[in-house]
């Protein structure tokens, strides 16, 4: 992996606070309450949808949401301000995609919530949660989505430690992504960084 090197050949380091929040396992204590809270928000949102046939059976609830989003009022601003996104939602309505997309939304929210609460694949779960928040905001639903999005982005960046106090401590090691690189890997990485810095400093 290439590192950013200054004109003097010095490797540009991240600020200590960034290193602590995104790499230090002690920061897991700070991410834990945020992760659990975010997971509970998704779990609660999913529960209301899964218990509602209009979401998981007919999709009428999602259809109504989309219809309201694409509507252009006679006065005032429409819910969707980007024409391209409005066209996309309209195409989903025309294809009657709400009949199956409602299930995807409901059970997707449930999986995101469970994964965040359990601390399993936190970075991936937070990414999909952030993607849903973005779509809700694009459709004109602000609500708590901006706050949820900010926390999700933080967990995406802190994926190495966000689930350290959770299932990720086992899952990431099992998948071959340990919290700390092996000694040989660390030495090879250090040698590559030093070599890269000398190459830049010499103008190669």
pLDDT score recorded for residue 187: 55
pLDDT, tens digit (0-9, with 9 covering 90-100), for 121-177: 999 999 999 999 999 999 988 889 999 999 999 999 999 999 999 999 999 888 866
Q: What is the mean pLDDT of residues 58-67?
A: 95
> Two tokens at 157?
């960046």
Q: Is the pLDDT of residue 79 over 50?
A: yes
Beta-sheet strands, E only, within 4-147: none
Distance between CA atoms of residues 54 and 60, nearest Å: 5
Confidence of residue 203 (pLDDT cuts 50, 70, 90): very low
Give yes or no for a contact between 70 and 93, defined as CB atoms under 8 angstroms apart. Answer: yes
pLDDT score recorded for residue 14: 80
More confident residue, 190 or 73: 73
DSSP 15: P
Distance between CA atoms of residues 96 and 18, nearest Å: 45
pLDDT score recorded for residue 156: 97
Distance between CA atoms of residues 47 and 65, nearest Å: 18
pLDDT score recorded for residue 106: 97
pTM: 0.81
More confident residue, 187 or 57: 57
Distance between CA atoms of residues 105 and 100, nearest Å: 9
Q: Residue 23 CB: number of other CB atoms within 10 A? A: 14
């Amino acid at each position: 992996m290439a590192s950013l090197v200054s004109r003097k050949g010095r490797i540009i380091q991240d600020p200590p606070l960034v290193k602590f929040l995104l790499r230090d396992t002690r920061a897991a204590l700070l991410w834990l309450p945020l992760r659990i809270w975010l997971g509970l928000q998704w779990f609660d949102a999913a529960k209301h949808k899964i218990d509602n046939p209009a979401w998981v059976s007919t999709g009428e609830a999602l259809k109504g949401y989309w219809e309201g989003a694409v509507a252009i009022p006679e006065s005032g601003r429409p819910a969707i301000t980007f024409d391209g996104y409005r066209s996309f939602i309209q195409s989903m309505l025309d294809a009657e995609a709400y009949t199956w997309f409602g299930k995807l939304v409901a059970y997707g929210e449930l999986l995101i919530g469970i994964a965040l609460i359990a601390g399993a694949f936190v970075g991936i779960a937070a990414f999909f949660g952030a993607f849903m928040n973005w779509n809700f905001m694009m459709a004109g639903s602000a609500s708590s989505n901006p706050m949820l999005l900010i926390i999700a982005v933080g967990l995406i960046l802190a994926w190495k430690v966000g689930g350290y106090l959770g299932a990720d401590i086992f899952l990431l090691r099992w998948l071959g992504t340990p919290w700390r690189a092996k000694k040989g890997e660390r030495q090879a990485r250090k040698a590559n960084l030093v070599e890269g810095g000398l190459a830049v400093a010499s103008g190669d």
